[in-house]
Structure 1
């Protein structure tokens, strides 16, 4: 199911999501989780200086198409086993699955199960990017923190990944350096498989960074963006440093 959120571009938040399988939603959490109670006020993190110019430069390099096509056949396993360690990117073949690698990199005060340092049982996102709030992670309530694909898998499938070899899709789905982000579970559900033309983070301080990273993933994998994505990215530069 694809939720159309175009009317919420300016407001940058949404109220609906889909159960797995959808791009960007952790396979361990099959149902939309309850909204976590924030433990602090939102943290405003300003994007780096020059972000507007970087976004503009990316827009000049990326192919733009009128609208996202509908390519049949998408399933999560078209991008390999969820969070497999068998990929060519950062953290690949290190003995830990991708989800726990991302949590290790982005959580603070991390606690592990056992001596392998591969299974995280607790930690903190001090300033979750999509909401700007502090989010506590506990494995017993793992859905509060999910791993998002900035350029969603279902979207990538429609935009060209359906023609990729399997290993390229696996590498895309597990690209920790470019495409993965630990985020608030409900915010991730609201994003679903949207792009910047349909969805923006509630946290205004992260919008410029989100758009830049989305475009960088698109260019890295030679994926196009929609005209709506382009227009939203161009508009956001007016509020970026």
Structure 2
């Protein structure tokens, strides 16, 4: 049923001719505040609706990976996420070179014991973030977004295969191949959009509402980014 509804949504979105808004009109960053807890349908309704524009986007405008949470540990953000999400801790050699260890990629249910076969996925891809409001941010805020370890939902270690299949697509265009992960994925996508004050376009909003109806008991946790 979800698939049929999404196909209808995709057809509708193709029929629309979007207007491009100035970057400053897309979305304002969320004000810092206390942690928020909402059920998924209500959380989806909290996201601002706006057209998207990729004008001016370059991946290099989001500096990553930086030195991570602990600049003195020799590990960049990528390796710190790998260490944080490991089911079995890897060995750490000089220069924070990781070997061994075990991870579970919830996108496809695969267990991985080689960190080189994992990507760190930006839950909301950098290009999608740009389209949705990050084009109006300072370089420092974009760097903070690209290396955000203060929210468990922002960055996730997954198989390189699934991350590259996802690319810069939103949930109207791509979902994890493992259906059991869909409710978690949508909740983490929504949490990231709310945390950073990012907008959704009409097609994305329609898809999120369909998934939210199917995942109505799923809870969204987020804290607005400083």
User: Does the CA contact (< 8 Å) of 1:64 and 1:224 recur in 2?
Assistant: yes
Q: Which residue of 2 aligns with 1:199?
A: 174
> Residue 172 of structure 1 is aligned with which of 115, 137, 145?
145
Aligned partners of 1:237, 1:160: CA distance in 2, in Å? 23
1:128 to 2:105 alignment: yes
Task: Write the deviation string for residues 93-131 of structure 1: whole angstroms up to 9, x where unpaired.
Answer: 353210011000111222223367x33222211x31100
Taking structure 2 as the reference length, what is the TM-score of the superposition? 0.72
User: Does the CA contact (< 8 Å) of 1:152 and 1:193 recur in 2?
Assistant: yes
Distance of aligned partners of 1:92 and 1:115 in 2 relative to their CA distance in 1, 3 Å threshold: closer
Distance of aligned partners of 1:157 and 1:237 in 2 relative to their CA distance in 1, 3 Å threshold: closer
Aligned partners of 1:201, 1:145: CA distance in 2, in Å? 15
Aligned partners of 2:97, 2:91: CA distance in 1, in Å? 6
In structure 1, runs of 5+ residues without a counterpart are: 1-5, 11-50
Distance of aligned partners of 1:122 and 1:234 in 2 relative to their CA distance in 1, 3 Å threshold: same
> Residue 220 of structure 1 is aligned with which of 192, 195, 219?
195
> Residue 131 of structure 2 is aligned with which of 158, 178, 185?
158
Taking structure 1 as the reference length, what is the TM-score of the superposition? 0.68
User: Does the CA contact (< 8 Å) of 1:198 and 1:228 recur in 2?
Assistant: no
Aligned partners of 1:213, 1:94: CA distance in 2, in Å? 29
